[in-house]
Structure 1
């Protein structure tokens, strides 16, 4: 039995990405709507892959593009029976890029799993054809090489004992096998995707609607994923790579992120976390078992003033591989507030102190691990001191404050008639002045007013 690639390739119509948590500088990222839709960009705050995780691309081979080469293993070519699995079609290279192209390197696109290793296994020829026997060899080989995830962007209409036995072998080795549901727009099972232990992937658009070409079926399709993704072709050109062939490595990349967490989850746990509906990286991370997790969350201050007066807002960002349970703000060792959902924001009344106050953010993950970050904020709730030296037709004002003076104002008959950005100023007093007041503002916003008696 031979199998034909289900490849749909479109070079135009690139959609625009929405605002995201992490926005890589890779040229193709603007067209990667799927990364945002599936919250991969938010998951990157906590996990971006690990060198202990290997994603096997069992396909037409993989070209050693700069975005892939540093993490590519040697692999094997079962079509030509050698150790040079170069891509003479392009399909496998694009699949590898979707799953694991490096991110934030100003090159190509941002794959899902930036630090996962890539194992190229060539089982399809230059026309994208290959026999079930060759594919089965590729699956077994990938499992023997310790592949964490085996990505199969290929398939056929017929069931096969060869494929089932190869998948069973990979299962026993601890590999998660992910395969394309096919592009016939049919509910007819597609193999090896329809093998029960394989994670079968369908394709959806940016609105989570099934692409008309994607195969479907609740009884055998386990998860859906973005079916059009920006990817580099072997010549380095970026285009939209569409089909369940594209959705599959996307899921394989998310599986790689999950496999990079602590404690290391089993293939069964990863499969369970991914199964159901459209893939969601954050939801899947939260669904993993976390008993034994020793990795602390990541926490950082957001918008926080360096000087504070009265009530101020302090924001924070926090991330964890299995989810943040809560974030707390402490001021001077005293608990101010707790927030249990992002975006994390706190209201802090800095009054009445004037001092350098340590602000602490404490983030707790679901396993109870805690991370702390500290920042000192100068609180200033004390108005400036003012000395005035009045004369018949003028007044000289001098103001002092630990935070510095922002400005002086002369107020005559209830109206500001003069301003000066400094701490020392001579003001002329109008002849018809009934009341004269000097106001001083410090850089924290405190104000003191002194009536000038003549």
Structure 2
């Protein structure tokens, strides 16, 4: 049977505009990629992929098969495009003569933060090109089934299938079941006719069927739907590179599918490596309103066997502090951080269970203080970060030596003197960045004083008697 691919849902726009980002989502530890097309990737923020990147960005042990029109090797893919197969021409040259498969590969696994193209979801995942659609986007069920089997036999962890038709065949079912039995997760496009009619292979129970939503989370009118067979939705319009490297807008459930495949790749890159069934369950149970959510999916993965502690770090913190100090922190973990603890001089100050992590600490009078952060993940692993700061809540000592219209001021302080100020009639009449200075008192001065600041911000005022 000859059927068309999902190219009817593909829109390529040479001049890519940047849709507005979803401003309702917090991105405490979010990564902002420097790729040229990233500004238009609203889906990355909508699905909290940029938050998930703080914990995991993929791994070369994970292979995402792009079963499509083939894949053109772009610089943004680096050396991660594996040898594949062309079932249309029956050879091993799986290069793309249409563009659909290359854009799908870019959505799923283009390199990120490399100043090239767009930021794919899974930056370090391998790409296995499997060509089952010809230059016009047409293909047949025999090739579809053969492509899925080939991907499973050649180590695909995730199989992204942006093709299909309305007919259910035993051969296609057998192929999806075969891949599932080999430990692969088949993720398939729900179709672009805007109906509830099942689309195959997406509607095969062993496959994960994906529909498309816009930046507000609403279903695109062209996306097929149906709670009985569509398992998940994802951003349906994503920037991607065409075969010539130009960035275009790639729309359709064809685009939503590799988006989910990329998120699945991130999950597969965690340690210990989860099974395909665990990844599928995490994608669906970690979803928000049926929409893929990378952070939720990571948190839904089983943490059993995880021996890697979170990454934790202090936020910006001055070397010398005084008064009530706010201490910020960042912590990420592939399976989720449960809480952070802050200690000062060995004493527990506070516990924070949700990002953005922040602690308030009353610093002591003076001295060196050891601060420690302890971050815990879902498996109970703990990681520490340590800083030493100097507490200084003591104002500098100030001595003044008046001599007619002159006054010499000297200040001393354990943390250093930042500046001296001459106050005349209550207003600053002179300033000096240092600890020793002779000031001239202007005519008409009724009151004269010297104010000294130390480097921690403490101050002391000394009155000049004339």
TM beyond 0.5? yes
Number of the residue aligned with 1:365: 377
Shift of 1:198: 0.5
Question: In structure 1, how many angstroms separate the alpha carbons of the residues matched to 2:377 and 2:234?
Answer: 28
Deviations 1:384-404 (A, max 9, x none): 122222334432111122322
- The aligned runs of 1:152-167 (5 Å cut-off) are 152-167=161-176
Number of the residue aligned with 2:322: 309
- Which one of the candidate residues 384, 388, 410 is aligned to 1:376? 388
Question: In structure 1, how many angstroms separate the alpha carbons of the residues matched to 2:258 and 2:443?
Answer: 82
Shift of 1:425: 1.8
Question: In structure 2, how many angstroms separate the alpha carbons of the residues matched to 1:447 and 1:198?
Answer: 69
Shift of 1:435: 4.8
Shift of 1:18: 5.8
- Asked whether the equivalents of residues 78 and 111 of structure 2 are also in contact (C-alpha less than 8 Å), the reply is no
- The aligned runs of 1:404-443 (5 Å cut-off) are 404-412=416-424, 414-429=426-441, 435-443=447-455
Shift of 1:429: 4.2
Shift of 1:323: 0.9
- Pair 1:291 & 2:304 matched: yes
Question: In structure 2, how many angstroms separate the alpha carbons of the residues matched to 1:359 and 1:18?
Answer: 36
Number of the residue aligned with 2:363: 350
- Give SS of 1:71's match: coil
Question: In structure 1, how many angstroms separate the alpha carbons of the residues matched to 2:442 and 2:168?
Answer: 99
Shift of 1:413: 5.1
- Pair 1:60 & 2:73 matched: no
- Give SS of 2:215's match: coil
Question: In structure 2, how many angstroms separate the alpha carbons of the residues matched to 1:376 and 1:387?
Answer: 31
- Give SS of 2:398's match: strand
- Give SS of 1:143's match: helix
- Asked whether the equivalents of residues 2 and 156 of structure 1 are also in contact (C-alpha less than 8 Å), the reply is no
- Give SS of 1:9's match: coil
Worse overlay, 303-312 or 15-24: 15-24
- Pair 1:322 & 2:326 matched: no
- Asked whether the equivalents of residues 311 and 351 of structure 1 are also in contact (C-alpha less than 8 Å), the reply is no
- Asked whether the equivalents of residues 72 and 96 of structure 2 are also in contact (C-alpha less than 8 Å), the reply is yes
Shift of 1:196: 0.7
Deviations 1:123-157 (A, max 9, x none): 11111111101110111111111211111000100
- Give SS of 1:23's match: coil
Number of the residue aligned with 2:19: 15
Deviations 1:105-129 (A, max 9, x none): 1111110000111111111111111
- Pair 1:188 & 2:197 matched: yes
In the alignment of these two chains, the number of paired residues is: 453
- Asked whether the equivalents of residues 57 and 123 of structure 2 are also in contact (C-alpha less than 8 Å), the reply is yes
Aligned CA distance change for structure 1 residues 34 and 425 (closer, same or farther; 3 Å): same
Deviations 1:17-65 (A, max 9, x none): 4685111111111111100000000000000011111100111110111
Question: In structure 2, how many angstroms separate the alpha carbons of the residues matched to 1:409 and 1:141?
Answer: 78
- Asked whether the equivalents of residues 405 and 442 of structure 1 are also in contact (C-alpha less than 8 Å), the reply is yes
- Which one of the candidate residues 306, 309, 313 is aligned to 1:300? 313
Worse overlay, 180-189 or 13-22: 13-22
Deviations 1:144-202 (A, max 9, x none): 11211111000100001000000111111011000000000000000000001110000
Shift of 1:235: 0.7
- Give SS of 1:257's match: helix
- Asked whether the equivalents of residues 326 and 363 of structure 1 are also in contact (C-alpha less than 8 Å), the reply is yes
Shift of 1:411: 3.4
Q: CA RMSD in A?
A: 1.7
Worse overlay, 343-352 or 131-140: 343-352
- The aligned runs of 1:50-449 (5 Å cut-off) are 50-275=59-284, 277-353=290-366, 355-412=367-424, 414-429=426-441, 435-449=447-461
Shift of 1:410: 2.9
Shift of 1:83: 1.2
Q: TM-score, normalised by structure 1?
A: 0.96
- Stretches of structure 1 lacking an aligned partner (at least 5 in a row): none
- Asked whether the equivalents of residues 371 and 389 of structure 2 are also in contact (C-alpha less than 8 Å), the reply is yes
- Asked whether the equivalents of residues 22 and 215 of structure 2 are also in contact (C-alpha less than 8 Å), the reply is no
Deviations 1:63-103 (A, max 9, x none): 11111141111011111111110111111110000000010
Shift of 1:334: 2.1
